[in-house]
Structure 1
Amino acid sequence: MRAMSLRPKPARLFVAALALAGLTGATVMDPANPTCPLEPNWSAYPEMKLTVEKRGNMKVMLAEGRVDAGLPDRLTAALKANPDVSEIWLRSPGGDARAGNAAGRIIRSNFGLGTRIPSGWACFSACNFVFMGGQPRMIEPGGLFIVHMFTRTGDRGAIDMSVAMGTDATRELIGDIEQDSALLASEDNDFLIRMGISRKLLTDIMYRQSAVATEENKSTRRCLTLDEALKYGVTYAPE
């Protein structure tokens, strides 16, 4: 009779780790993206929701959900209706990159309007550029500024359609993606300079992530440490 192995199976170890985290309050980290938690708190709203609330002695705007194409217009209207807002608090999984850049510029045009990632909240992808518009910018201990390599290859519908149409259509789409990606990289670089952030954030961190997970490198996200955020000028010294 075959002897039973006493070695715990990986799946059981993972379940046990989740159970232990639940008991201890420890954060479960993402095996594919080891610098980040498995489930970042970045909100599930399909369009970014803007809510103005009183927090202590100041009025803040909670910006939660996906960065959508209509955000810049809604943000402009919300700030016009609430000129006494002091800070924008962000919790977002990202979304439309150019809308994120535009929202960041709108925030910067409102002199002295700060941005904040509160403790336990996460700001990913296009949300990064919304956050960068703040002056000042604050990441609380426990707040997450999560970056990745920007890409348009996630548009599966356009890719599948071009493949169905044949080689010429696919080649044209690939050319469009390459051209647009290069243009977006140039826009990101210009945006960082205008916001007073080191361009090395792009070269040292963002563009070193995999655009698409592979067998060799499954990591597509990178959570900045507070020291890194300070080093690249993303945030200022904690209060």
Structure 2
Amino acid sequence: MSNRSKVIRAVIATASLLVMGASDVKPGMDPDNPTCPRYPNWSSSAKMELTPVDRKGTKILLAEGAIDAGLPDRLRKALAKNPDISEIWLRSPGGVARAGNEAGRVIREADASIITRIPKGWTCFSACNFVFMGGRARIVEPGAHFMVHMFTMTGDRNAINYSIEMGTDSTVGLIGEVEQESALLATEDNDFLIRMGVSRKLLSEVMYKTSAVKSGDSDKATRRCLTEEEALRYNVANVTG
């Protein structure tokens, strides 16, 4: 066999492998994160909007958009103003981690009967996970996406800028503070899961095994969407919907 023929066969074989690999990804899913949708439906609102609506006689609070520092206070006021809310439906790309934790506590303290729900086709990512966990009854509908990543601050430009604004003027000190802040938040997350009745294995087996930032120049997040079985196993969802 000539060298030219060998090269052609090698190219064909490589192309076949690439096609086979691509076929493993279901239509509509992200090739880099195959358990998650390529284009998550998590709202483009820069600040989470809270909208009370009536659906077939049930009062629902639609919570849509990015989680900002002011969310817990807005949520507290919305629930106080609408005491007949029985469900909170969530879709969000995440946002301020501690605000997500606090908003989850607001829900838990407001009314034991409030259900949190991720409707079919909607995505609740990152800090949104912790808002969702605030419900005593939690539903992830089939076709909904509870999407997680490991929280990290090291290498995160927003976190670095935040620390600089706080007065950190040494690079070494900056990284040290950022890493300390990450460890502190991990502890807070662990405590939050215990209080909400969610398995801590969610952190050890999923959240902290999925890197938030890839190496190299890319800052694209590595995401993981729980299966229905995982959501129930980790007690993320405790009611089937």
Scaled by the length of structure 2, the TM-score of the pair is: 0.83
Identity score, percent: 62
- Contact 2:107–2:114 under 8 Å retained in 1: yes
Work out the CA distance in 2 between the residues paired with 1:101 and 1:160. Answer: 22
Question: What amino acid maps onto 1:238 in structure 2?
Answer: T
Shift of 1:133: 0.2
Shift of 1:228: 0.2
The equivalent of 1:41 in structure 2 is 41
Work out the CA distance in 2 between the residues paired with 1:219 and 1:64. Answer: 21
Measured against aligned partners, the alpha-carbon deviations of 1:28-86 in whole angstroms (never above 9, x if no partner) come to 11111111111110011000000000011200000000000000010011111100000
Question: What amino acid maps onto 2:98 in structure 1?
Answer: R
Structure 1: any 5+ residue segments left out of the alignment? 18-25
Shift of 1:171: 0.5
Question: What amino acid maps onto 1:41 in structure 2?
Answer: N
- Count of aligned pairs between the two proteins: 222
Which secondary structure state, in structure 2, belongs to the residue aligned with residue 181 of structure 1?
helix
Question: What amino acid maps onto 1:191 in structure 2?
Answer: F
Scaled by the length of structure 1, the TM-score of the pair is: 0.84
Bigger mean CA offset, 40-49 vs 150-159:
150-159
Question: What amino acid maps onto 1:229 in structure 2?
Answer: A
Question: What amino acid maps onto 1:221 in structure 2?
Answer: R
The equivalent of 1:113 in structure 2 is 114
Which secondary structure state, in structure 2, belongs to the residue aligned with residue 137 of structure 1?
strand
Which secondary structure state, in structure 2, belongs to the residue aligned with residue 85 of structure 1?
coil
Instruction: Flag the 1:55–1:212 CA change in 2: closer, same or farther, 3 A.
Output: same
Work out the CA distance in 2 between the residues paired with 1:28 and 1:173. Answer: 40
Which secondary structure state, in structure 1, belongs to the residue aligned with residue 170 of structure 2?
helix
1:229 aligns with 2:226: no
Question: What amino acid maps onto 2:69 in structure 1?
Answer: A
Shift of 1:237: 4.0
- Contact 1:149–1:206 under 8 Å retained in 2: yes
The equivalent of 1:150 in structure 2 is 151
Structure 2: any 5+ residue segments left out of the alignment? none
The equivalent of 1:23 in structure 2 is none
- Contact 1:159–1:170 under 8 Å retained in 2: no
Which secondary structure state, in structure 1, belongs to the residue aligned with residue 86 of structure 2?
strand
The equivalent of 1:85 in structure 2 is 85
Instruction: Flag the 1:156–1:86 CA change in 2: closer, same or farther, 3 A.
Output: same
Instruction: Flag the 1:157–1:207 CA change in 2: closer, same or farther, 3 A.
Output: closer
